[in-house]
Structure 1
Amino acid sequence: MSVRPDPLSTLSIPDDTVVEEHDLVTDGDVLIGAQSTVEFGIRGRNVVAGERVRFGGHIEAGGDCRLDTWCSVGDNVLVGEDAYLGERIEIDGQLVVGGDLDIGDDVQIAEGFEASGWIVIRNPMPTVVFLFMYLTHLLRMGEDDAAEELVDELFDEDGGAEPLTIPKGATVSDDAWRVSTPAKIGRDCRLHGNVRAESITVGEATEIFGSLRARDDIEIAPGAVVHGDVTTRSGTVTVADDARVWGNISCEHLDLARDGVVDGTIRARGEVNTGLSTDPDGSPQ
């Protein structure tokens, strides 16, 4: 098998992701690292969360939903297919499952639950442990192709929608998206909240209603709009053609394309390059 990076080492927002009335909506899967807080409701395909993740709103999973131990959900959990709930989970609303329900001990569901398939009461294995053991078993049996297919399916490498991934210990809300990792935001997204990350990449035609702040580089692709300040402690800010920043920029270096617009004050401690043409991905030529 080829070696792949940790899928939760980056805040990754796939193309066409939007925030609608306090719901975070994506076409693909949602993967959330342990000990994170997500104040939005979540609407996606498969929703997988590590232990001690707190959801401020509801969860709507068109496919499966798997929540590890000590997770809490502030509203309903609606699952189109199967659900796997670890022990000591709290759901403040109703649980509705279209398929089978695998549920652990001491799970509290305020408004009751219903499942169309089998209901098994036990302690489901934590998601990360389950996947690791399954992959290890396949590899020990020499089933490299089967293991490769499993990883491809999990991470949609054969043309499916890219998963939305939130790293361990993150906080995501209308106020701010706070992570200690790089943040990669896809194209045609519409997000609310200030973004705080190690580095930030904003895709084409994405609109962000909030500021951007990073320790390293910030790249804003063609057609993207940022309604807020853009600040980096020691990196370069790149504003591509037709990108708009409605706020101030503070950085070490600035690359401003010919048709990029900054409606605010620019403070750069190093070089300021203006009038550049850019590649389609927003990088200066």
Structure 2
Amino acid sequence: MAVRRDPLDELVVPAGTEAKEVALETDGDVLIGARSTVEFGVRGRNVLAGENVEFGGDIEAGGDCRLDMWCDVADNVLVGQDAYIGERVHIGGELKVAGDLDIGDDVDIEEGFEANGWIVIRNPMPTIVFLFVYLKHLLLIGEEDTAQRLISELVDEEEGDEPDVEPLVIPRNATVGDDAWRVSTPATIGAGCRLHGNVRAETIEVGDDCNIFGSLRARGDVAVGDGVRIHGDLTTRDGDVVVGADARVLGDVSCRDLELGPDAEVDGSIRASGEITMGTTERERE
């Protein structure tokens, strides 16, 4: 059954993700489209990257790691299960694999590699990375039975494994770093995230209780959940802005229509070409 849209056409940051000084950490999988730059290291369950992706730090994968051709990793790659390394990949540190290693031609690993399982030197099929992406996203559109049958062919699941969680998805041609998260697609940030950097996207949706140390800028609509803190401006070129209850924007807001939830605060100036509506608390309604 066809997926309704390309799953790499959106930046998805799952709930609880943290961007720390040296690494982007999440409990689930990390899926990265081709020709993207991730200035952090990455820590997740399975880490999968398309061709020509650059990493600015270590990769730590509790499960599998799959890097397509021409990827560049600045430091170490540590893999808890199996690794699939495409041709002409460069790793600036060492590669350690607890399981099997499937490695392509002309791979440059500056500090050597070791694997506890089988080592096969060949060119792993690049399409397996994106096949895995589509399979994981079948879960998100409700095709659980189809996804389960197909995923079982790629991932060995043992009794007692943790249930699937939403993956961190970075779309093609994106730049993710401490200074900015730049994508030309919609962006969805789950609840309870702590991110550093200005977010630039087509549209932006931020879940409850997030802390964003940077500004938000979009062409279209921006929605900020309850209890969110935005340490910067919130602007949109052609869209509306919704700021949830008890949220705070420590900067300016510029938009078309603006909706402020109960106890929401904007520390800077407000520039709205359309309507401004403000929610009321239960006490005020009484």
What TM-score range do you get, normalising by the shorter chain? 0.7 to 0.9
Question: Under a length normalisation based on structure 2, what TM-score does the superposition of the two structures give?
Answer: 0.88
Rate the CA distance shift 1:29–1:277 in 2: closer, same or farther, 3 A: farther
Give 1:258 deviation, angstroms.
2.4
1-structure distance, mates of 2:2, 2:274: 40
2-structure distance, mates of 1:96, 1:161: 25
Rate the CA distance shift 1:57–1:82 in 2: closer, same or farther, 3 A: same
- Helix, strand or coil: the match of 1:149? helix
Question: Under a length normalisation based on structure 1, what TM-score does the superposition of the two structures give?
Answer: 0.88
1-structure distance, mates of 2:88, 2:196: 32
The amino acid that maps onto 2:17 is T
1:272 is aligned, of 258, 276, 281, to 276
1-structure distance, mates of 2:276, 2:34: 40
Give 1:4 deviation, angstroms.
4.2
- The question of 1:236 aligning with 2:215 is answered no
- Helix, strand or coil: the match of 1:238? strand
2-structure distance, mates of 1:238, 1:78: 41
The corresponding residue for 2:69 is: 69
2-structure distance, mates of 1:146, 1:23: 34
2-structure distance, mates of 1:105, 1:59: 21
1-structure distance, mates of 2:226, 2:49: 33
User: Could you report, residue by residue, the CA deviation over 1:148-191 in whole angstroms, capped at 9, with x for unpaired residues?
Assistant: 3245679xxx9521000000000000000000000000001000
Give 1:22 deviation, angstroms.
2.1
Stretches (4+) displaced over 6 A:
none
- The question of 1:192 aligning with 2:196 is answered yes
Is the Cα–Cα contact under 8 Å of residues 50 and 129 in structure 2 kept in the other structure?
no
- Helix, strand or coil: the match of 1:241? coil
1-structure distance, mates of 2:238, 2:128: 35
1:246 is aligned, of 247, 250, 257, to 250
The corresponding residue for 2:85 is: 85
Unpaired segments ≥5 residues, structure 1: 136-143, 279-285
2-structure distance, mates of 1:225, 1:151: 40
User: Could you report, residue by residue, the CA deviation over 1:108-155 in whole angstroms, capped at 9, with x for unpaired residues?
Assistant: 0000000000000000000347738x98xxxxxxxx99753245679x
The corresponding residue for 1:109 is: 109
The corresponding residue for 2:96 is: 96
User: Could you report, residue by residue, the CA deviation over 1:45-89 in whole angstroms, capped at 9, with x for unpaired residues?
Assistant: 000000000001110000000000000000000000000000000
Is the Cα–Cα contact under 8 Å of residues 96 and 113 in structure 1 kept in the other structure?
yes
The corresponding residue for 1:224 is: 228
1-structure distance, mates of 2:207, 2:102: 39
Rate the CA distance shift 1:145–1:188 in 2: closer, same or farther, 3 A: closer
User: Could you report, residue by residue, the CA deviation over 1:6-25 in whole angstroms, capped at 9, with x for unpaired residues?
Assistant: 22111000000001222100
Unpaired segments ≥5 residues, structure 2: 136-142, 155-161
2-structure distance, mates of 1:275, 1:127: 49
Percent identity over the alignment?
64
- Helix, strand or coil: the match of 1:24? strand
User: Could you report, residue by residue, the CA deviation over 1:178-220 in whole angstroms, capped at 9, with x for unpaired residues?
Assistant: 0000000000100000000000001000100000000000001
The corresponding residue for 2:209 is: 205
Two-structure CA RMSD over aligned residues (Å): 2.3
2-structure distance, mates of 1:151, 1:5: 19
- Helix, strand or coil: the match of 2:199? strand
Rate the CA distance shift 1:91–1:188 in 2: closer, same or farther, 3 A: same
Give 1:277 deviation, angstroms.
6.6
Spell out the pairing of 1:23-172 with structure 2 (5 A cutoff): 23-128=23-128, 131=131, 147-150=146-149, 159-172=163-176
